[in-house]
Structure 1
Amino acid sequence: MTKKSKPASTKTPKAAAPVASAPASAAAGGKIAKAQLVDMVADKTSLTKVQSEGAVSAMLDAVVRSLQGGQSVGLPGLGTLNVKETAARTGVKPGTSEKIQIPAGKKVSFKVASTLKGEL
């Protein structure tokens, strides 16, 4: 007995839904690099990519310098970056289970803005 072959499907594939203009890595839950931020700023403004790179770099430098100076940085709609003191403590060295003393230090903390938290 022989099998009859089915005729080829005449259906046309459905068009993919349009995707928002977010970078591919952002859509996949990845990390957005500085170059991608520069591209986004250039697209949203009338600035060239060179000017956008200067603006993004200047903003990031200002944030870093403020944090190094112990100031908190508020970014409206995003959140607030703060420098917090950490206390000296005893820790365990991974692999050897040896107890070690971790000195006091500083860390940067981020508190998400309530408007953004509500939109996530």
Structure 2
Amino acid sequence: MTKKSAKAPATKAAPKSVKAAAPKSASVKFGKTALVDTVADQTGLTRAQAGQAVDVFLESVLEAVRSGKSVGLPGLGTMSVKETAARTGVRPGTSEKIQIPAGKKLAFKAATTLKGTL
């Protein structure tokens, strides 16, 4: 004979009218659309013009980083490309030793003013 487990009573979901939508400012991610909206609001540009300005800025930063330059953003921090050395690693599952080639990675160092306000 098997013993039946008792189910916990189901909880009622709150009615839709009670559930409040999270305010836009409580969002965890500040993406490109929000950035464009902020630039448009604070500069008086249209959303299309602000979108173009943000696109040009981002493309400029990307191009500088791709060419190996360090990009300093006052109050935010500095992005730079760091060289990684070749090293020996272990393949998971087989424990086989493999050689990992040298490469590059993107590094970001937050500004001290930003660190102080977090």
TM superposition score normalised by structure 2: 0.74
| Residue of structure 1 equivalent to 2:58 | 60
Alignment gaps of 5+ in structure 2: 1-22
* Displacement of 1:64: 0.6
* Among 72, 78, 87, the residue aligned to 2:76: 78
* Displacement of 1:49: 0.6
Alignment gaps of 5+ in structure 1: 1-20
Q: For 1:38-117, what aligned pairs fall within 5 Å after superposition?
A: 38-117=36-115
* Displacement of 1:100: 1.8
Letter in 2 for 1:75: L
* Displacement of 1:34: 1.1
| Structure-1 separation of matches of 2:56 and 2:75 | 20
Q: Deviations over 1:22-67 (max 9, x none)?
A: 6332xxxx22221111111112211111011111111110001001
Number of residue-to-residue matches in the alignment:
97
* Displacement of 1:70: 0.8
* Displacement of 1:92: 2.2
Identity of paired residues, percent? 62
Contact 1:84 1:108 in 2 (8 A): yes
Q: Deviations over 1:61-100 (max 9, x none)?
A: 0001001111100000000111111001112223333322
| Structure-2 separation of matches of 1:44 and 1:95 | 53
- 1:34/1:53 Cα in 2 relative to 1: closer, same or farther (>3 Å)? same
